[in-house]
Amino acid sequence: MRLSKITETKKGRMALFGEADEFLFSVDAETYYKYGLREGCELDAAALAGLQAASETRRAKDKALGYLALRSYGSQELYEKLCMKFDTPSSAAAVAEMQRLGLLDDAAFARARARHLAGQNKSAREIERRLGLLGLGAEDISAAMEEILPQSEAACLAVVEKHYRAKLAAGQREKVLAALARRGFSYGEAKAAVNEVLAQLEEEGCDF
């Protein structure tokens, strides 16, 4: 295959045309100069495929940098997001490059996300579930959960005080415990929080 024409696109990419002036595909400037492309050069099918793959990987890396500039990601989450726009080899190569650059740290990401969810008074079970949905590894999730477990107890108490104080005052202890279980709090956490709020209500002179 001989490249009959090469033109620059409005986005700064180099559009490649085949022997009959048919458009083949475009490549980024870095790939263009790296491969020494020029009008009239001959490329076989394998070279064309490699060229296109290299350019696609470059695009995936640039997109990954753009995503990471907006917020942090876990490796699997970023990979899945890239796969929505690029092929799997390009997406995997982009993630590997972000890891090499130190821009992806699943352990730190898991801890930060766990702290964020704990700050929203999510239960430990719910936090663990959400971390799993992000594709984080078991070790990273376990380490993150160990860090925020004390916060889960405080979160349960905060939820009871905010949403269920009136129901406890009305004598609906079992209903409150069931509601907390649905939110993902353990029985121990729920019971401790309920008992603490009941004690507060008793001190305030509430008649259950």
Rounding to the nearest 10 degrees, give the CA dihedral for residues 64, 109, 129, 155: -140
Asked whether 4 and 19 are in contact (CB, 8 A), the reply is yes
Asked whether 160 and 176 are in contact (CB, 8 A), the reply is yes
- Residues 126-176 pLDDT 10s: 899 999 999 999 999 999 988 887 677 788 888 888 889 989 888 898 998
- Find the radius of gyration of the CA atoms of the chain: 28
The overall pTM is greater than 0.85: no
Q: Report d(CA 19, CA 194) in Å as an integer.
A: 78
Low-confidence ranges of the chain (pLDDT < 50): none
